[in-house]
Amino acid sequence: MAKRILIIDDDPVVVTYLKTLFEENDYETDSASNGIEGMEKMKANKPDMITLDLEMPEEWGSRLYRKMSKDKELKDIPVIVISGMSGRHAAKSAVAYVAKPFDPDKLLGIVKKTIG
């Protein structure tokens, strides 16, 4: 069974790119365009990994990450922060912080190392 990655990002171009990248490498994907939708999808369909943008409408990724970290059902899901914002301050315990624009091979390497 393929591993599932939830992409949380408000930029449809980034979402489409990540979906294509992950699906071409045998991962299943789902997406959410903001933190509120992301939390709903996490709870309904616990993914194997999450990619998380920080700057989004409705609810910022950093706030969503703090909520996840306090939820016993969600806190162990690995998160890769993919953001144009500098620094890891918002999600210090994330698996990785990848700055936009990113190298797709580097990102895939992090995903494969984390969830296979």
Instruction: Give the pLDDT confidence score for residue 105 in this predicted structure.
Output: 96
Given a cut of 60, whether residue 90 has pLDDT beyond it is no
Q: Residue 75, class by beta-carbon neighbours within 10 Å (0-12 exposed, 13-18 middle, 19+ buried)? A: exposed
Given a cut of 80, whether residue 56 has pLDDT beyond it is no
Domain with residues 4-115, CATH architecture: 3-Layer(aba) Sandwich (3.40)
Specify the higher pLDDT residue, 107 or 63: 107
Given a cut of 60, whether residue 89 has pLDDT beyond it is no
As a whole number, mean pLDDT of residues 53-71 equals 82
Entry pTM: 0.92
